[in-house]
Amino acid sequence: MRFFTSWMKWEEGRRETPIEYANFVIMLLIALGIGVLAVVVSAILGPKKASRTKLMAYESGNDPEHGGVGTGQRFPVHFYLVAMLFIIFDIETAFFFPLAVAYQKLVPFAFFEAVAFVGLLLVGYVYILKKGVLEWA
Amino acid sequence: MPGWLVELLITLVKGLALAFALLTTFAYMTLVERRLLARMQIRLGPNRVGPGGLLQPLADAIKSIFKEDVNVTLADKLVYTLAPIVAIGMALTAFGGIPAGPPGSLFGADPWVYNLDAGILALLAITSMGVYGIFLGGWASGSKYPILGGLRSSAQMISYELGMGLSILGLLMLVGSTSFLGIVGWQAVNGWMILFQSLAFALFLISSFAETNRTPFDLPEAEQEIVAGYLTEYSAIKWALFQMAEYVNMITASAIMATLFFGGYRGPGFLNAIIPGIADWPIMWLVVKIAFFLFLFIWVRATLPRLRYDQLMRFGWKLLLPVALANTILTAAYLAFARGFGLWPLAVLSLAGLLLLLLLSDRVRVLWNTPTVRREDDSLPNTRPAGGD
């Protein structure tokens, strides 16, 4: 018994893909356009009375210590590690999507395939766990 | 007029209508949220502007448009301006793929703006783009609190995005398609996905709370912690655009949960026995389900305290991720070896997993609480160098 054959009639009458991508681009342009419009309208309508104090960066009323973008402000390495782990596990997810969609046509071989793949990644996961990468002290 | 031009014009109208609807919903969401929070705290919400406070969102919008748009000196002007536009653009685009009815049910047109075959993948991709808006906004502000807030926020969002992506794998295995129409169609035949994937739904729900930076995961906006996170240097309409993006993301997340796990635009079938055909009324059921989830978002905000940032990250990486993987493997094993029994044993398995997790919640709490650090024993010689670190 295959669960996914029963809704195949829903897929009929679907239009070809290029027009759907054009629709997507239209929606994207509309959405970005609204953002641009809001910013432009506000820039025209709002008052413009800048002063040195008003434009200062917020630091509880003190003079800001570090100045501006790219002046080498330091931040914890944890964020870098999380980003790395995200890339690794997101690639795992990316590999899993096609497997999941075609899964019922590939069983039971696909199951062992998936378990082997997850097993390899779990080794890495346990390693980072033991290394304490996931500890946010 | 050639046929394709008509198609594109229809899409344009639908897209504008959708954007208008989303922005109106956002505006009234703020009012509804304030009023509901007030009710839950036994007080009245805003009720002065207009009848019952109904014009409050309009007043807020006019105020934020006419406010002075402060561009701080230290900011990187271009990115500082672009970041809120990216955030709102991605938030609005993401909703376009949700089907609000069967094909052709919107005055002869399709009730969605675009319908890609890889619907879920497109959606995940667009929501990841939303992270750019937040992080670049924090970075471009050029002072330290926004940078820290942006980093925290983006680390949180990408961590929970992982849980989100992994938790729907079991669902995809069952359905065998990444298109929303396919998933809704499958549920029309076999019953709502929440029955068979309750564990996955719980994970997905938690991830979407964290994805949209809502309580109990709203650390980036924790006013008491690092000022206002990535929003610190924003004012007027740019600030409002970020808020808009957050609320629109919330609406989208509700719509996704409704579509993936609660039968999408189709109502419960047994109601057909009372009023014939009510389960197929277009759009209504999707709106009802979205409203339910939005209420849930507000309810949770009124109820739960925030997590600490380290607890938040541990929770995402140590609990959500392994449980989502376990759910995937469980579903995979079931489909590989026990498919002959039908779908219901899977429902029982999934529910059992969820209940087990709830029963063990005291035990597994150590996963996200601070691990007990062994106290330095006084009897041992002090190995630390004198003079501190």
Q: Of A22-31, B70-79, B370-379, which one has max mean pLDDT?
A: A22-31
Inter-chain touch A35–B88, beta carbons under 8 Å: yes
User: With contact defined as beta carbons under 8 Å apart, do B34 and A45 qualify?
Assistant: no
Residue B31 has pLDDT above 70, yes or no: yes
Mean pLDDT for B133-160 is 84
The pLDDT score that the predictor gives to residue B134 is 87
Best to test chain A binding among B173, B189, B225 (most A CBs inside 10 Å): B173
The first and second tokens of residue A118, run together, are 């997850």
| SS3 label, residue B152 | helix
Mean pLDDT for B34-46 is 91
Q: Which residue has the higher pLDDT, B118 or B38?
A: B38
From the CA of A75, how many Å to the nearest CA of chain B?
Answer: 8
Conformation bin of residue B191: beta by default, left when phi > 0, alpha when psi is -120 to 50: left
Among candidates A19, A79, A103 on the partner chain, residue whose Cβ is nearest the Cβ of B7:
A19
The first and second tokens of residue B37, run together, are 């929070």
The first and second tokens of residue B61, run together, are 């919008």
**Nearest partner of B220 among B236, B200, B205, B234, judged by Cα:** B234
The pLDDT score that the predictor gives to residue B211 is 84
Q: Which residues pair with B106 in a beta bridge?
A: B109
Question: What is the percent of chain B where pLDDT is above 70?
Answer: 92
Which B-chain residues 324-343 have CB contacts (< 8 A) with chain A? 325, 328-329, 332-333, 335-337, 339-340, 342-343
The pLDDT score that the predictor gives to residue A68 is 61
What are the CA-CA distances from residue B113 to residues B15, B49, B127 (Å)?
6, 35, 17
Q: Does A37 touch chain B (CB under 8 A)?
A: no
The residues, any chain, with a CB within 8 Å of residue B161's CB and separated by 6 or more, are A86, A90, B124, B127, B128, B131, B207, B211
Q: Which residue has the higher pLDDT, A94 or B219?
A: A94
The pLDDT score that the predictor gives to residue B204 is 93
Q: Give contacts of B92 with chain A, Cβ < 8 Å.
A: 27, 30-31, 34
Which A-chain residues 77-96 have CB contacts (< 8 A) with chain B? 78-79, 82-83, 85-86, 89-90, 93, 96
Best to test chain A binding among B116, B172, B368 (most A CBs inside 10 Å): B172
Q: Give contacts of B72 with chain A, Cβ < 8 Å.
A: 55-57
Mean pLDDT for B32-39 is 92
The pLDDT score that the predictor gives to residue A3 is 47
The model's pLDDT over B255-288, given as tens digits with 9 standing for 90+, comes to 999 999 988 888 787 777 777 777 777 788 889 8
The interface predicted TM-score (ipTM) is: 0.83
Q: Judging by beta carbons within 10 Å of its beta carbon (0-12, 13-18, 19+), is residue A137 exposed, middle or buried?
A: exposed
The pLDDT score that the predictor gives to residue B379 is 59
The pLDDT score that the predictor gives to residue A7 is 45
Please report which confidence band the pLDDT of residue B232 belongs to, taking 50, 70 and 90 as the band edges.
Answer: confident
Q: Which residue has the higher pLDDT, A11 or B4?
A: B4
**Nearest partner of A37 among B238, B15, B132, B230, judged by Cα:** B238
In angstroms, rounded to a whole number, what is the distance separating the alpha carbons of residues B98 and A16?
18
The model's pLDDT over B177-227, given as tens digits with 9 standing for 90+, comes to 888 888 888 888 888 888 888 999 999 999 999 888 777 777 666 566 666
| Encoded amino acid at B42, one letter | I
In angstroms, rounded to a whole number, what is the distance separating the alpha carbons of residues B76 and B141?
7
**Nearest partner of B326 among A28, B318, B369, judged by Cα:** B318
Phi/psi of residue B106, nearest 5 degrees: -105, 85
In angstroms, rounded to a whole number, what is the distance separating the alpha carbons of residues B86 and B88?
6
The pLDDT score that the predictor gives to residue B358 is 84
The pLDDT score that the predictor gives to residue A72 is 64
Query: Which string of DSSP letters, residue by residue, matches B223-261?
Result: TTTSTTGGGTT--HHHHHHHHHHHHHHHHHHHHHHHHHH
For the whole prediction, is pTM greater than 0.95? no
The pLDDT score that the predictor gives to residue B268 is 80
Q: Which residue has the higher pLDDT, B250 or A10?
A: B250
The residues, any chain, with a CB within 8 Å of residue B57's CB and separated by 6 or more, are B27, B28, B30, B31
From the CA of A77, how many Å to the nearest CA of chain B?
Answer: 11
Among candidates A32, A67, A103 on the partner chain, residue whose Cβ is nearest the Cβ of B173:
A103
Residue B311 has pLDDT above 70, yes or no: yes
Residue with tokens 């709106």: B287
In angstroms, rounded to a whole number, what is the distance separating the alpha carbons of residues B187 and B184?
5
Residue B374 has pLDDT above 70, yes or no: no
Q: How far is CA B90 from the centre of its chain?
A: 13
Other C-beta atoms closer than 10 Å to the C-beta of A33 total 16
Q: Which residues pair with B109 in a beta bridge?
A: B106
Please report which confidence band the pLDDT of residue A4 belongs to, taking 50, 70 and 90 as the band edges.
Answer: very low
Question: What is the percent of chain B where pLDDT is above 90?
Answer: 17
The model's pLDDT over B246-258, given as tens digits with 9 standing for 90+, comes to 899 999 999 999 9
Q: Which residue has the higher pLDDT, B378 or B30?
A: B30
Residue B113 has pLDDT above 80, yes or no: yes
**Nearest partner of B25 among B51, B57, B49, judged by Cα:** B57
In angstroms, rounded to a whole number, what is the distance separating the alpha carbons of residues B267 and A40?
42
The pLDDT score that the predictor gives to residue B294 is 92
| Encoded amino acid at B386, one letter | A
DSSP state of B222: -
Cα–Cα–Cα angle for B54, B58, B64, rounded to 5 degrees:
145
Nearest CA in chain B to A34: B89
The first and second tokens of residue A38, run together, are 């809001």
Length of chain B: 389
Mean pLDDT for B29-34 is 91
The pLDDT score that the predictor gives to residue A10 is 46
Mean pLDDT for B327-352 is 85
In angstroms, rounded to a whole number, what is the distance separating the alpha carbons of residues B177 and A104?
11
The first and second tokens of residue B92, run together, are 């609005």
